[in-house]
Amino acid sequence: MAYRFAMACALLVSAFLMAPPASAQGQLAVARKFYQEGLRAEKAEQWEKAAEKYQRALDIKETPQLWLRVGICFEELGRLTSALNAYERGAEQAELDGKAQVVKVLTDKLEGLRPKVPTLTLQVAEPPEGLRITIDGRDVAVSTLGTKLPIDPGEHVIEATAPGYSTVTESAVIETGDEELTLVLAIDPDAREVSATEVPDDPPSAVLWPGALVTGVGVAGLVVGGVLLGVAQGQEGDVDDRCGGPERLSCPQSQRDDIEATLANAERLRIGGFVSLGVGGAAAVTGVVLLLMAPEPARDAILVPTWGPGYGGITARGSF
């Protein structure tokens, strides 16, 4: 009994693992739906709609039969290069799937289509560095210059650009056979090359603000340091009052713990104050140096750090 129960469980698990997930089954059903819609559109010679339905099915599951249907639609639409690509993709897929009959059908399609696909050979006289070529807005690899590129029949716009050169735009009507087009780029007289050593002039604010910012940070550090030292001194003065003077010879025993805690806190504040003063002073000096080293246009207005008991800031001096 136990053995048969175990076998039954094993068979159920195997069936579960071998069955496609429900989500996959649902996607295949959607793909079949798109395929049927594509067939109906194809019979009605609605080639654009049929191609769109077949491609949506391809997005879910790629099959050589779907590539064949897509290629037929593109061929009817005159998009011969797209049809060529579809047939090639389908033939590759059929080879992988071992479908010899489908391979033959797609191979026949390719052999019949290739002679109909016109080609365009692009040449650029003395190709400059940074050359970019587009056909109908799509980039063409510069490495393909001088080679025959399959192209759909009809009018096409070819554009070539490069830094320092005027843009060249050519229109070409491609019908059949092989076409060749040579593009000549001319140097743009209005283009100005920026040398590696040339540095564009910065506006005064661009060169002034780094120094002003560092100076402001330094001033803030000095102010904070002074405040911390003042608080520490005030706490120590309070302890002196309770202990009979700076010598602290008569500290009340009942307040011993509170006094020790106050002195420890004052020491921490003093250390923090000295650190803040050191960092702030260094930043303030650095900021002043940056301001003094600013280019001449930035010196019309010089920011000078100012601080004193209980205040700190930056004063602008000069002409504006």
The C-alpha atoms of residue 141 and residue 7 are separated, in whole angstroms, by: 62
Fold adopted by 21-116: 1.25.40
The C-alpha atoms of residue 202 and residue 311 are separated, in whole angstroms, by: 33
Are 274 and 266 contacting, i.e. CB atoms less than 8 angstroms apart?
A: no
What pLDDT does 16 receive? 37
What pLDDT does 142 receive? 84
What pLDDT does 209 receive? 62
What pLDDT does 275 receive? 80
What pLDDT does 224 receive? 74
Fold adopted by 119-183: Immunoglobulin-like (2.60.40)
What pLDDT does 244 receive? 67
What pLDDT does 176 receive? 72
What pLDDT does 76 receive? 92
What pLDDT does 86 receive? 92
What pLDDT does 206 receive? 57
The C-alpha atoms of residue 241 and residue 39 are separated, in whole angstroms, by: 101
For residue 19, the 8-state DSSP code is S
Q: What is the CB neighbour count within 10 angstroms for residue 279?
A: 16
Q: What's the gap between Cα 86 and its chain centre?
A: 32
Are 317 and 306 contacting, i.e. CB atoms less than 8 angstroms apart?
A: no
What pLDDT does 302 receive? 46
pLDDT in tens for each of the 320 residues of the chain? Answer: 443 433 334 433 344 344 445 467 788 888 889 999 999 999 999 999 999 999 999 999 889 999 999 999 998 998 888 998 999 999 999 999 899 998 899 999 999 988 888 888 888 877 888 889 898 888 988 888 888 888 888 888 988 888 988 888 888 888 777 777 776 777 776 655 544 444 455 555 555 667 667 667 767 767 776 777 777 777 777 766 777 666 666 777 777 777 777 778 878 877 876 887 687 678 667 756 665 676 655 444 444 444 444 445 544 444 44
Q: What is the CB neighbour count within 10 angstroms for residue 116?
A: 12
pTM as predicted: 0.47
Tokens of 89: 């993709």
Are 108 and 85 contacting, i.e. CB atoms less than 8 angstroms apart?
A: no
What pLDDT does 214 receive? 64
